[in-house]
Structure 1
Amino acid sequence: MTVRVVVADDQAMVRAGLRMVVESEPGMDVVGQAADGAEAVALARRLRPDVVLMDISMPVMDGLAAARRILGEPDPPRVVMLTTFDTDENLYAALRAGASGFLLKLSPPEQLVEAIRVVAAGDALLDPAVTTRVIASFAGGHVPVTPRCLDELTPRELEVLSHLARGLTNAEIPGELFVGEATVKTHVARVLMKLGLRDRAQAVVFAYESGVVRPGAAAG
């Protein structure tokens, strides 16, 4: 199955370069290009791509605002944010916007292709330990708000969410809960479904901002 991609960047040369990289890979196709965030939102609604490559800094509507609009639609595509600056603030903003990935524009072409494959398959692109460190750092400035959907989780699922937020992988959580890895995977899937989250990165953001875990509880 072909992965359908929309490229959003205000620089024509960057869009052309990204398109060249994507379309050089079998099974990937750029179905649309946008020069600003508003155009990206319109293209995402009309073309229904699998993945949107979204520059953070764009005119009319910036990439973060555009990502929030796109990801607020029913059955949205995955969004990978692109930036020139590798900062924790940008990463946190991208995660809060709902992005599944964060990539530097200077990344090698093979890394871009892999990023598209990873998020198109339903996974988060970001390393759990890095994600946890960044969210723990920035979440301290937010007053936790406990949403009602937390009541939907069983005590074991709440434990799994807590371990996810500490940066533990599916292979590491069984050692904490004394269950098999297959059971952990089932719990993770149920947590994401019940909370309406797309991936593990979103689960980490949710856990910190809802007060399930507090800054300082991160592993490592």
Structure 2
Amino acid sequence: MVIVDDHALLAESLELALNFEGYDARRVELPEEPPSETKLVSLITRSQPRIVLLDLDLGQHGSGVRLIAPLARAGVDVVVVTSSTDEPDWGHALHAGARTVLSKTMPLGEILGTVRRLNHGLSVLDVEDRERLIRAWMGQEQRIIEIRRRLDQLSPRESQVLEHLMGGLTVGEIAKLRVVSEATVRTQVKSVLAKLGVSSQIAAVSIAHQADWRAA
């Protein structure tokens, strides 16, 4: 059994508890320089683990979600243990092939109980819960696709204005930076809001961040 988590304290606690339970568990020491996905998967599967406890947030190594599918294809049962409480994040992990998703706030005994059930070939997640969480992720994905479609409708200048708003600049500051009148910037902001279907600059900035958008 392998534990993949860049938070050393939790990883060490899980390693000690699992070994105390009689499992052959070890933590994977993540390299200082992030390797390719292939090399990272190879590092994790080197000992041919049956179960991998995987965090979703691996710091500089990026999202753990990208590792789930290749690990599952290698015959590994992936159990995600995450601090995220976002249901679409959980659904994304399940859609990628994770057997279940557990919260880091869950008592250690419950995490061990899940590993125990999985090790005995028992179900660790209700079908209804799995489907509900995957639907939550798919719904979010569709919303992001729609947001990106709207963002693509922005003109180059409107895109620049939105990017400045995302950087925390005011209308006055944007006008000085672009050497135009505040009235011109306000007109462009109004057009941005109309195209994005929102009523405030805060909402426009929020959905742009949700879509991980940047001006071309």
Structure 1 residue 42 displacement after superposition: 2.2
Call closer, same or farther: CA 1:64–1:98 in 2, change over 3 Å: same
Tell me if the contact between 2:80 and 2:98 (Cα under 8 Å) persists in the aligned partners.
yes
**Structure 2 counterpart SS, 1:48:** coil
Residue 17 (structure 2) aligns with: 21
Distance in 2 of aligned mates of 1:108 and 1:141: 29
**Structure 2 counterpart SS, 1:118:** helix
Residue 73 (structure 2) aligns with: 72
Residue 28 (structure 2) aligns with: 33
Residue 115 (structure 2) aligns with: 116
Are residue 11 (structure 1) and residue 10 (structure 2) matched? no
Cα distance per residue 1:168-191 (max 9 Å; x no partner): xxxxxxxxxxxxxxxxxxxxxxxx
Q: Which has the higher helix share?
A: 2
Structure 1 residue 91 displacement after superposition: 1.2
2:8 aligned partner, one-letter code = A
Are residue 50 (structure 1) and residue 50 (structure 2) matched? yes
The number of residue pairs the alignment matches comes to 136
Structure 1 residue 135 displacement after superposition: 2.7
Call closer, same or farther: CA 1:88–1:46 in 2, change over 3 Å: same
**Structure 1 counterpart SS, 2:61:** coil
Distance in 2 of aligned mates of 1:40 and 1:53: 14
Structure 1 residue 121 displacement after superposition: 3.0
Residue 199 (structure 1) aligns with: none
Distance in 1 of aligned mates of 2:100 and 2:45: 20
Structure 1 residue 62 displacement after superposition: 2.3
**Structure 1 counterpart SS, 2:28:** strand
Cα distance per residue 1:121-154 (max 9 Å; x no partner): 33442233322322334445789xxxxxxxxxxx
Q: Which runs of 5+ in 2 are unaligned?
A: 32-36, 143-216
- Deviates most, 32-41 or 92-101: 32-41
State percent identity of aligned pairs. Answer: 24
Q: Which runs of 5+ in 1 are unaligned?
A: 144-220
1:43 aligned partner, one-letter code = L
Distance in 2 of aligned mates of 1:50 and 1:24: 18
TM-score by length of 2: 0.55
**Structure 2 counterpart SS, 1:126:** coil
**Structure 2 counterpart SS, 1:102:** strand
Call closer, same or farther: CA 1:116–1:43 in 2, change over 3 Å: farther
Distance in 1 of aligned mates of 2:87 and 2:78: 18
Residue 201 (structure 2) aligns with: none
Call closer, same or farther: CA 1:14–1:138 in 2, change over 3 Å: closer
1:29 aligned partner, one-letter code = D
RCO higher in structure (CA 8 A, sep ≥6): 1
